[in-house]
Amino acid sequence: MHAAPAFAVLTAPCLSGIFPCFRAGRGMSPGPPDQEEARNIVIPALMPNYNRADLAFERGEGARLWTADGRRFLDFGAGIATTSLGHAHPHLVKAIAEQAARVMHVSNLYRVPQAEELAARHVAHSFADSVLFCNSGAEANEGMIKAVRKYHAENGHPERFRTICFEGAFHGRTLAMISATGNPKYLAGFGPPVDGFDHVPFGNMNAVRNAITKETAAILIEPIQGEGGVRPADLRFLQELRAVCDEYGLLLALDEVQTGMGRSGRLWAHQWAGIEPDVMSSAKGIGGGFPLGAVFAKEKVAQYLKPGTHGHTYGGNPLACAAGNAVLDVVLAPGFLENVDRVARHLWRGLLKLAERHPAVVERIQGAGLLLGIKLQDGVTNTAAQDVALGEGLLTVAAGMNVLRLAPPLIITEADADEALELLDRSCRKLTPSTAKVAAK
């Protein structure tokens, strides 16, 4: 009679004797019970790397969210410009539920028809000849930079690996992307920055030209800087970047993670400038709230990302691409983008009037489409403004340069915009320096 394999006889009592740290009800802990108690652990189980508001939402519909205790909020943050179709959009919900009931994930070892369909549709409605799917904006930007470097290496210029980026940018939180972002706050404590990124002032063409060297491979820019203060690039500046890339043999790389998928009133924000990039990143709204990112590229760039050069376990799986196709169904429907543009202009006009009524609070309005920013006066912080708006029932997002960001779902109506303007007006009254102390009390 053969003895049972060793692992088969490690019953629960044996485990507790061999591994004292394994205990019922706790799982694997860093040490025996007496050591754990002596450490007096106070960190929450969910790592505290986010500064979360004390709010938990139970359900949503359209541009509104409800907490478990019934409080209603108008959502003009959209999960940081992500829930492009709002909450519980019936077409998106149906597509996800039906696909989940069939097959969610198979990996990229096999064909994924949903990804093939979504890629073909995006190619048909963009500059791109090919699309690579991933899961987030940071991953899309990583893939984009790898594609840029691979392009130059394959064309006999491996020394061309540097990318010109802009002050105030935000490209993600991976090691390479915090280096591309260049913000000292995000870089602190993570060792030396990843080499290959040079930063120049946003909108300064002379600085761009001066930064070009024999090692420069590309210029990377967001058409509208979101985290950096909701600052739109001048359309002429985008056109000049296209021209200088052509002049020096550089690739123009656009980060449309926050600005794309209709947020500007066109499918892609760069279309307002009448230009085409060589490669582009997308995420956030492309999946309507389901994790999905993408790298869009012209053939001359995409052809070098061959098997083994780049990849993702989850990227472009059936469930994510079902969501992506559902979002595209809605965004490409006749009249949808025109309505985004119309409502955005209505909201813009209302914000200009808000600024006129509250000059002690609002310095100016900036942004484009449904990615708008309220630049606050020095005496009013964007975090305070965000908190006051929250108290009025409006969800917003703080951005750099003391800006309060508005990035609502693309399905909002003029009535939704008017409601937000009323809530912002009440917020500004409370934020006016002469009344702020009373309001705080």
Cβ-count burial of 416 within 10 angstroms (0-12 exposed, 13-18 middle, 19+ buried)?
buried
The pLDDT value given to residue 145 = 98
The pLDDT value given to residue 35 = 55
Q: Three-class SS of residue 61?
A: strand
Please state, rounded to an integer, the average pLDDT across all residues of the chain.
92
Q: Are 238 and 205 in contact (CB under 8 A)?
A: no
Distance CA 21, CA 167 (A): 48
CATH of 90-331 given 2.60.120.620, 3.40.640.10, 3.40.50.150, 3.30.2000.10:
3.40.640.10
CATH of 57-82+335-440 given 3.30.930.10, 3.90.1150.10, 2.40.10.120, 3.40.50.300:
3.90.1150.10
Residue bearing tokens 């409370």: 430
Q: Three-class SS of residue 209?
A: helix
The pLDDT value given to residue 102 = 98
Query: Above 70 in pLDDT, residue 338?
Result: yes
The pLDDT value given to residue 203 = 97
The pLDDT value given to residue 63 = 98
Two tokens, residue 104: 């969610």
Same fold: 57-82+335-440 with 90-331:
no
CB atoms within 10 A of CB 366: 20
Q: Which of 435, 440, 427, 434 is CA-nearest to residue 362?
A: 427
DSSP 158-184: TT--EEEEETT----SSHHHHHHH--H
The pLDDT value given to residue 4 = 43
The pLDDT value given to residue 437 = 53
Query: Above 70 in pLDDT, residue 33?
Result: no
| 404-415 pLDDT tens trace | 999 999 999 999
| 281-323 pLDDT tens trace | 999 999 999 999 999 999 999 999 999 999 999 999 999 999 9
DSSP 271: G
Strongest mean pLDDT among 32-36, 47-51, 272-276? 272-276
Cβ-count burial of 266 within 10 angstroms (0-12 exposed, 13-18 middle, 19+ buried)?
middle
Q: How many Å is the maximal CA-CA distance in the chain?
A: 90
| 219-268 pLDDT tens trace | 999 999 999 999 999 999 999 999 999 999 999 999 999 999 999 999 99
Q: Are 335 and 265 in contact (CB under 8 A)?
A: no
Query: Above 90 in pLDDT, residue 439?
Result: no
Distance CA 12, CA 118 (A): 48
CB atoms within 10 A of CB 88: 14
Q: Are 290 and 319 in contact (CB under 8 A)?
A: yes
pLDDT band at 13 (very low <50, low <70, confident <90, very high): very low
Cβ-count burial of 66 within 10 angstroms (0-12 exposed, 13-18 middle, 19+ buried)?
middle
Alpha-carbon torsion (195, 201, 207, 209), positive or negative:
positive
Helix 90-102 and helix 318-331, axial crossing angle in degrees, nearest 10: 160
Q: Where are the domains of the chain?
A: 57-82+335-440, 90-331
Question: Distance from CA of residue 434 to its chain's centroid?
Answer: 37
| 344-382 pLDDT tens trace | 999 999 999 999 999 999 999 999 999 999 999 999 999
Give the bridge partners for 216, in sequence order. Answer: 162
Distance CA 164, CA 217 (A): 8
Distance CA 211, CA 163 (A): 10
pLDDT band at 388 (very low <50, low <70, confident <90, very high): very high
Distance CA 165, CA 179 (A): 10
The pLDDT value given to residue 7 = 34
Distance CA 227, CA 250 (A): 26
CB atoms within 10 A of CB 97: 10
pLDDT band at 34 (very low <50, low <70, confident <90, very high): low
| 86-117 pLDDT tens trace | 999 999 999 999 999 999 999 999 999 999 99
Q: Are 293 and 124 in contact (CB under 8 A)?
A: no
Q: Are 270 and 277 in contact (CB under 8 A)?
A: yes
Distance CA 394, CA 424 (A): 8
Distance CA 397, CA 390 (A): 10
The pLDDT value given to residue 12 = 40
Query: Above 70 in pLDDT, residue 118?
Result: yes
The pLDDT value given to residue 19 = 39
Spatial neighbors of 282 by CB under 8 A, at least 6 apart, are: 137, 140, 256, 257, 260, 261, 293, 294, 295, 296
Q: Three-class SS of residue 205?
A: helix
* Amino acid found at 289: G
| 148-157 pLDDT tens trace | 999 999 999 9
Give the bridge partners for 252, in sequence order. Answer: 219
| 187-213 pLDDT tens trace | 999 999 999 999 999 999 999 999 999
pTM summary value: 0.89
